[in-house]
A and B are shown apart, each in its own frame.
Chain A
Amino acid sequence: MDATYEYLVWLLPAAAEWPSWLVVALITALPALACFTFMSLGPLIYVYAERKISAFMQDRIGPNRVGPIGLLQTLADTIKLLFKEAIFPKKVDRKLFVIAPILVNVGAFMPFLVIPWGGRLQPADLNVGVFYVVAIASLSTVGLIMAGWASNNKYSLFGGMRSAAQIVSYEIPAMMILLVPVMIVGSLSLQDITMAQHGGLQNWFLFRYFPIMPVAFVVFFVAGLAEVNRAPFDIPEAESELVGGFHTEYSGFFFAMFFMAEYTEMFVLSATATVLFLGGYLAPHPVLQLLYLPFVGAVPMGWFWLWFKAWSLVFVMMWLRWTLPRSRVDQLMHIAWKVLLPIALVLVVVVGGLVLWPATANGFVWDRWVGWPLTLGLVGFLLYVMVRALQWSRRRAQELAAPARQAVTP
C-alpha cells in the first residue's frame, strides 16, 4: 500500500491533501482494477498467440477469418462462450461446481498483487512476496480438485487427483529453487530480489554462479510448467485419455473461466521466473531503463521489460507444448522425485555454501564475463537459425506450393 500511495502522490501531488478515505479507496481499487482488466483481457491475446504459434509450427495458417489475420477470433469465441448455456448435470455438487472455477481464478489472479512492474508500479510490496505467490498460486489446485470432485464424473475425478499428485510433487523442487535467489538476496520481497539484480544483464541471477544458476532456472521452469498444468505435463486435462479432465462437465462461462485461469497462471509463472532469474523489470542495460521521448521526457520502461521477458517465457511454454508429447503419470513422478528434487536439493546446499563463503558471496570471478557473451551467443544462434529457417522455408515453399500458385481462383 505504501508503494502505491507513493506512486499516487508522485503521479498527482495534489493527492497528498485529499481525504484519507478517498486515497485509501483509490489505492485499493485502482491497482486491483488495473490488474484485473489487464489479466482478463490477457487471455484474449494468449489464446490467439497460442493458436497462431501452433498453426505455424505445424505449417498451417491458423485463425484468419475473423478480423484482420484472425485477430478478433478469440473475442468472438469469448462472446460465444459467455452467451452459451452453462449446463449443470443432474448429479453434480452444485455449490462446489460453481465455487471451483472461481477458486481457480483467485489463485491465478491474486499473485499479481506483488509482481513489480517498476520501482513503484507494484500494488503491494509484501515482505513475504515470494511466499505469498507460492501460497496463493497453490489455491488454484484446490479449485481443480474441487472441480473434479464436484463434477461427479470418473474422468473429472481422475483429472483432479492427477492435478493434486502433480502439485504435491512439483511444489517441492520449485520451492527449493525459489530458495536459491532468496538466499542470495536475503529477502522474500520481490522488489528486493529485483533490485539485487540491478546493473545490467551480467547481474541477473541467471548468470550468477555461472554453471549453477542456469540449471536452477531450468529446474524451476520445468517444475513451474508442471504446476500450471501445461504440456508436456498437462495430464490433469489430458484430452486424449480423460476427455477433458477436470473441466469435462463444464460449459459456457465456467469453461471459459478455467481457460482464463490457465493462461493467467502461465503469465504469473513466467513473471515470477522473470523476477527471480531474469532481472524482473530491469532492462538488459541500465541505458534502456528509461525511454527518452520528445516533449514527454523520460518514460520508465520497466513494465515493458517485465512484459517482454515474461512473454518470451510464455512463448517458450507454447513452443514446448507443440514440441513434446504428453508424459505418462509415472514419467511425471519420475521427473519430479528422481530428477528435479535431487538437483534442487544439491543446488540449495551448494548455493547456500557459496553465499556463506566470503570469496564467492557475490558470485564467481568469471560471472561478469559470462552473461554478455552467453547472451550474445544465444541471440546470434537464434538469428542464425532463423535465417537458415527462412531460407529453408522459401525453398520448401517454392517446391511445395508451386502447383498451388497456379490454382484456379474463381
Chain B
Amino acid sequence: MRRWFQDVWEGFFTVLVGMRITWRHLFTYPVTLQYPTVKWPLPPRSRMRLFMKFEDCIGCGQCVRACPVDCISLKAEKRPADAPPIWAANGQAIKLHVAVFDIDMSLCCYCNLCTYPCPTNCIYMTPEYEFATSDLTQHLYRFAKKDAQFILEDPKKKAAGQAPAEATAPPATPPAKPAGA
C-alpha cells in the first residue's frame, strides 16, 4: 500500500519536474538560424568554390599536376615574340599565353592541393558555396579571358621608386585562338 502511494506520488511529481523544464525552455531564445537571410560566418581556410585570377596566371601548370582528380584543364602556348611584355602581380614575368583554363567544379574534391604550388597565388578557394545548378555543365567554370587587363609594367621596378604610371592598359592579349578548347 505504501509502495503504491509512493509510486503514484513519484509519477505525479516527475511530471511536474518535466513540466518545469519545458516551462523554462518556453522562454529560451530560439537557436534557429534563418538560413537564407542569416548565415553562419565560415571558419577561416574553409574550402568552397575555386577561383582563378587570370591576370596573374603564368601558365606553369603546377595546379594541373597537383590536382588528384584532374578537374583543371590548361592549354598554354608561347607568347609571340612581338607581344608586349606582361607581369603577374607578384613580379613574375608571364611568358606563356594561357588559351584555356577550365575548372570543372563538379569534379573538384575541394582538397585545396592546387592552391599550394601556385607561384603567383592566382588560384584560391573562395567562401562562395551556394552554386548549385540544375545543369551539371554549368559547373564548368572557364577562367581564360580574351580581354584581360594585364600588368604592362614590371611591378618590381615600379616598387623600386619609378613614376607611378597606371599599371593596367587596354586589352593586350594576342588574339591567338578562341578561349574554348
Query: Interface residues, chain A, CB within 8 Å of chain B?
Result: 53, 55-61, 218, 319-320, 322-324, 339, 343, 385-386, 388-390, 392-394, 396-397, 400-401, 403-404, 406-410
Contact = CB atoms under 8 A, between A and B. Distances in A.
Contacts of B24: 385, 388-389, 392-393
Contacts of A396: 28-29
B23 A401 contact: no
Contacts of B26: 53, 56-57, 389
8 contacts: A319-B22, A323-B19, A324-B18, A389-B23, A389-B27, A389-B28, A396-B29, A407-B40
B29 A394 contact: yes
B32 A61 contact: yes
B8 interface: yes
Interface string B7-30: 010011001001111111111111
A218 B33 CA distance: 39
Contacts of B37: 409-410
B38 A409 contact: yes
Interface in B65-117: none
For chain A, what secondary structure do more than half of its interface residues adopt (helix, strand, loop), or is it mixed? helix
A55 B26 CA distance: 8
Given A59-B28, A393-B29, A396-B29, A323 B15 contact: yes
Among A58, A218, A323, max chain B CB count under 10 A is at: A323
B34 interface: yes
Given A386-B27, A396-B28, A407-B41, A61 B18 contact: no
B41 A403 contact: yes
Contacts of B20: 385
* Chain A to chain B: the 5 pairs with minimum beta-carbon distance, closest first: A397-B29, A389-B27, A323-B18, A393-B28, A323-B22
Nearest to B12: A218
Contacts of A319: 19, 22-23
